[in-house]
Structure 1
Amino acid sequence: MDKQKTPTPIEPLAVRNVDALRRLFADNEQLAFYYLESNTGTIIAAIVYIKVLIDMERLRQHILPQIGMHGRASGSDSHALAEAAAAQGFQQTVHDMDAAVRMISDAGIVLFLEGEADAYGMILPGYGKRSVTEPMLEVNVRGPRLGFIEDLSTNVGLIYRRLKTNKLKSISYFIGQDSRTEVSVLYLEDQADANVLQEIERRLKSITLNVVADSAQIEEWIQDSPYSPFPQIQNTERPDRVATALSQGKVAVVTDGSPNVLLMPSLFTDFMHPSEDLYEKFYFANFLRALRVITLFISLFLPSIYIALSTFHLEMIPTPLMLTFLTAKAGIPLPTFVEALVMEIAFEILREASLRLPQTVGQSVSIVGALIIGEAAVQSGLVSRPIVIIVALTGIASFTIPSFNTAITIRMLRFPLMFIAAWTGVLGISLCLFTLVLHVCSLKSFGKPYIPTLEAAKWRDFVGHYILLPIKKRRFSRMHTSPAAQGGSDHEDH
């Protein structure tokens, strides 16, 4: 085991501390320092910061003049100067040079006082941030329209605005050897499972990435089955969804620099139910839930079923429909499987292109491009009209899946199912369905079954995972039976 590095102490001479930082930040022209002198010209303090990270206007107009005035008045009295600095916001004590480097790198200012073995610091970010706007992906017809941004304190504040209770707890971690990205874990102490909290803490501490730029990296690292195509950790842009999930006993992980908050443990049903369901009449919400299940199977199996029936099982198709298919197929040089594969690939290319283009242009490319390519392919005799209808219906059905990650999984699984259908017909599709069901049922999310079962919950909780009850009879499904207990030492409580 590697020996833990001994922190470099702070020198009682401010000039030496500045020289040490200049060596540590060698070849960094953004590092700046400012010496405070007494009326006699003696250096009594030094301020060090990185220019592009802090609010330079506030530093120059408010902090430096006030500290400079008190420094000249106090002379060599470091205690009086420390009190003046604390009044300007230098509330954090920095005990060693390693902590000073971390604070400076995190948009902070460090104040070294002559004759003091400790320094003082404050965070003064000066870089811009995006205003709180409507979520980009999780767009609702009804309900709140606030979405998370890339600033951690703003995102945590949006959650605290939703849950005005002292039971809401927050624990901070710093992940990434170089980026030192702050991550906040939020939970309700009387709802969250203590075992889940401990497991989340263990997995977060196991991350050894140099740079953590987005919550997606954390999601991939800490999920139970990284080789499974199915998402096991839910991410959301909506504060109202996080508040609801916390009240159900889940845990939220907020990452600085990411507008997506992770929710865990997550069930498969969580990815099929948008937050908008809670704001609609229960019968309409249940109708939409049933519709999404149907479109899920259409998106996954419709092309492969068409390939299997038209290739191996024509006798299973009603005679009038079979004659229609055969008439449309007459003169087409490509096998049904190749037809479907070409059209699916073309549709995926258009969909990917629409995502990379500006929003207004992208929508036009996706819709008009699909119409033009489909019609041109039919007119040229390369593909039949039924396959164009099948591919279009499959693509539209995939748009109804609320979770973007789940939709990608379904789109990816569609292609191997098409290959298997072209080789083995309906029997192969049935075996694939059986294998998928077994795989999904075997998944767990932080010890919780991925598919809600009656054994793992009470009857009403079990029903609540699938059916939205009337609001007066509704009770959110819990994820646990044991209350949370705080623990650990390598984090900060807020």
Structure 2
Amino acid sequence: MIRFKSRKMLKAKPPENELSKQNKDPLSDTLIANENTLRTIYKDCSDVIFRSFFIGGKDKALLIYIDGLSNIEEIADNVLSSLMQQTKEDDFYNITSLIEKRIAVSDVKEINTFSQSVHEISMGNPVILVDKRNAGFSLGLSKWEKRSIEEPSAELVIKGPREAFVETLRVNTSLLRRKIRSPKLKIQSLEIGHYTKTNVALSYLEGNASETLIEETKNRLSKIDIDGILESGMVEEFIEDNPYSPFPQVLSTERPDVVVSALLEGRVAILVDGTPFSIIVPTTLYSLLQASEDYYGRFMIGTVIRWLRYIFLIISLLLPAMYVAVITYHHEMVPTTLLITMAASREQVPFPALVEAILMEITFEALREAGLRLPKQIGAAVSIVGALVIGEAAVSAGIVSAPMVIVVAITGIASFTIPRYSAAIAIRMLRFPIIFLAGTLGLLGIMLGVITIIVHLCTLRSFGVPYLSPMAPMQGSEMKDVLIRAPWWKMNKRPHFTGGYNNIRQAPGQKPSPARKDE
């Protein structure tokens, strides 16, 4: 079973002023009083429109909406023009029935308080208030500009669906619904942020996800008490188990197929309105090192690429430190011919190997960051040309040696093989303390740093799941998708995220058999 650690989170509510207390009051049966209150709430808000009109030419009403968030054409055609027509005497006293008959809007809700009115208006839904009635109506006519579905920009697609999430929450949930056509796909919504009122959707497959995991995720989200949420990264910091660890404890992705795959495994997805990146919990170190293309191609190719990825992960973390340790303390490990060549290249360098490595690594990281921040048209060219020019100039000036430039270049290339940016940047951060240990203690310092990292990974958890699972603790039945990628017809069971039930995901005995020739 999955066990969760209880966490105490500070929940501080901002002090209530007179305006916030006023928002919780019920609507008055006097239209003038309601209008004055709402105008006070939306003082100095030029984009909030107050439109007075008469229903059927008799009963005075008020329409409030935000210009830019509501569908103005639908308001004019289906709301104002319909309600302002002359009404029969028997319909005049039944405003609810009249609105249901006249307004061609699919979503009409009755509201009774100022807080409900403000919430609906902020969501882009126009609100109608009628004189002599202490209730109003919210019309589902929100409309704003949104980005079309495009190819993922942060996760390159080699083989697989070429669609990515957008900044609109309902578009993202529809992408999940289009792939999972089952009512067992549950999507629960909640709001986070006192001012932004950001919609957050909790998605899971009923029967696949553990009830304990679902409740724990809800509890952590409900404890977030902040002014506003602008991106899913802000949610990550509030819900992760160990915020001081450099390793990410959630998986962030902008690809719907990755989220659907995680839901089928029994995990939980968190979608945040206003960002194309979703959060998947729980996650493990091996999940962060796996790419979608591992499962869309042949299993032998996926296994080879996965091993290549693991090897380059080790190179990215340890290669500069190994070079510094060997050059500084362990000359006997290098062949004599190579040692003479390296010594000749370092003859003009005034700095020790440790300073040389730190200087080149910082320069390379600065070039990589500059390439990310510059426009796409010139970012790649600047980073590549800058690395070539600076590296050649540094070697010619005698500041660094040529082998060090080669080591740093190989290390940078190796870091690009890690599929997840959050995992890659964690390795890049840990590279610097490992280099310091290598420069002071040699190979002993490298072993000390590696042991510290392994111990930390063994103690790390993601929503109660061990970070090195299923290797530590060892779960032999789930090793088919860690070091190797077994064929699909052999992976009959789901990972242990399901909590021990409904762990069968396909029928056994689906290995393809060769066709026999007719005798």
| TM > 0.5 fold call | yes
The amino acid that maps onto 1:140 is V
The 3 A distance-change label for structure 1 pair 364 and 471 is: same
Kindly indicate whether the alpha-carbon contact (under 8 Å) linking 2:198 and 2:273 is maintained by their aligned counterparts in 1.
yes
Deviation string, structure 1 residues 431-467 (Cα, Å, up to 9, x no partner):
1100000001111111111111368675322332332
Kindly indicate whether the alpha-carbon contact (under 8 Å) linking 1:232 and 1:445 is maintained by their aligned counterparts in 2.
yes
Q: Distance in 1 between matches of 2:72 and 2:172?
A: 25
Q: Distance in 1 between matches of 2:84 and 2:97?
A: 12
2:185 aligns with one of 146, 159, 168: 168
The 3 A distance-change label for structure 1 pair 47 and 85 is: farther
Q: Are 1:58 and 2:74 an aligned pair?
A: yes
Q: State the partner residue of 1:489.
A: none
Kindly indicate whether the alpha-carbon contact (under 8 Å) linking 1:194 and 1:482 is maintained by their aligned counterparts in 2.
no
Question: Cα offset for 1:174?
Answer: 0.5
Q: State the partner residue of 2:327.
A: 310
Deviation string, structure 1 residues 51-98 (Cα, Å, up to 9, x no partner):
132222332243321222266985454234332365334512212111
Question: Cα offset for 1:238?
Answer: 0.6
Q: Are 1:261 and 2:278 an aligned pair?
A: yes
Q: State the partner residue of 1:238.
A: 255
* Number of equivalent positions: 483
Q: Distance in 2 between matches of 1:305 and 1:123?
A: 63
2:115 aligns with one of 98, 113, 133: 98
Question: Where do 1:205-216 residues align within 5 Å?
Answer: 205-216=222-233
Deviation string, structure 1 residues 357-402 (Cα, Å, up to 9, x no partner):
1112111111111111111111111111000000000000000000
Question: Where do 1:14-413 residues align within 5 Å?
Answer: 14-38=31-55, 42-69=58-85, 74-84=91-101, 87-413=104-430
The 3 A distance-change label for structure 1 pair 33 and 213 is: same
Where does the alignment leave 5 or more consecutive residues of structure 2 unmatched? 1-11, 503-519
Kindly indicate whether the alpha-carbon contact (under 8 Å) linking 1:35 and 1:43 is maintained by their aligned counterparts in 2.
no
The amino acid that maps onto 2:362 is I
Q: Distance in 2 between matches of 1:295 and 1:70?
A: 76
Secondary structure of the corresponding residue to residue 252 of structure 2: strand
Q: Distance in 2 between matches of 1:129 and 1:52?
A: 12
The amino acid that maps onto 1:144 is P
Q: Are 1:477 and 2:495 an aligned pair?
A: yes
Question: Cα offset for 1:334?
Answer: 1.6
Name the TM-score, length of structure 2 as normaliser.
0.89
Where does the alignment leave 5 or more consecutive residues of structure 1 unmatched? 485-494
Deviation string, structure 1 residues 287-344 (Cα, Å, up to 9, x no partner):
1111111111111111111011100111121222211211111121121111111111
Q: Distance in 2 between matches of 1:85 and 1:174?
A: 32
Q: State the partner residue of 2:514.
A: none
Kindly indicate whether the alpha-carbon contact (under 8 Å) linking 1:462 and 1:477 is maintained by their aligned counterparts in 2.
no
Kindly indicate whether the alpha-carbon contact (under 8 Å) linking 2:466 and 2:472 is maintained by their aligned counterparts in 1.
no
Q: Distance in 1 between matches of 2:102 and 2:242?
A: 50
Q: Distance in 1 between matches of 2:56 and 2:484?
A: 76
The amino acid that maps onto 2:73 is E
The 3 A distance-change label for structure 1 pair 294 and 277 is: same
Q: Distance in 2 between matches of 1:210 and 1:79?
A: 36
Comparing 25-34 and 73-82, the one that deviates more: 73-82
The amino acid that maps onto 1:296 is L
Comparing 30-39 and 411-420, the one that deviates more: 30-39
Q: Distance in 2 between matches of 1:324 and 1:160?
A: 62
The amino acid that maps onto 1:439 is H
Secondary structure of the corresponding residue to residue 87 of structure 1: coil
Kindly indicate whether the alpha-carbon contact (under 8 Å) linking 1:37 and 1:72 is maintained by their aligned counterparts in 2.
no
The 3 A distance-change label for structure 1 pair 454 and 301 is: closer
The amino acid that maps onto 1:115 is K
Question: Where do 1:445-456 residues align within 5 Å?
Answer: 445-453=462-470
Q: Distance in 1 between matches of 2:214 and 2:121?
A: 31
The amino acid that maps onto 2:289 is M
The 3 A distance-change label for structure 1 pair 85 and 313 is: farther
Q: Distance in 2 between matches of 1:71 and 1:379?
A: 90
Q: Distance in 1 between matches of 2:482 and 2:86?
A: 63
Q: Distance in 1 between matches of 2:29 and 2:463?
A: 49
Comparing 380-389 and 26-35, the one that deviates more: 26-35
Secondary structure of the corresponding residue to residue 171 of structure 1: strand
Comparing 109-118 and 415-424, the one that deviates more: 109-118
Q: Distance in 1 between matches of 2:474 and 2:334?
A: 42
The amino acid that maps onto 2:498 is H
The 3 A distance-change label for structure 1 pair 86 and 192 is: farther
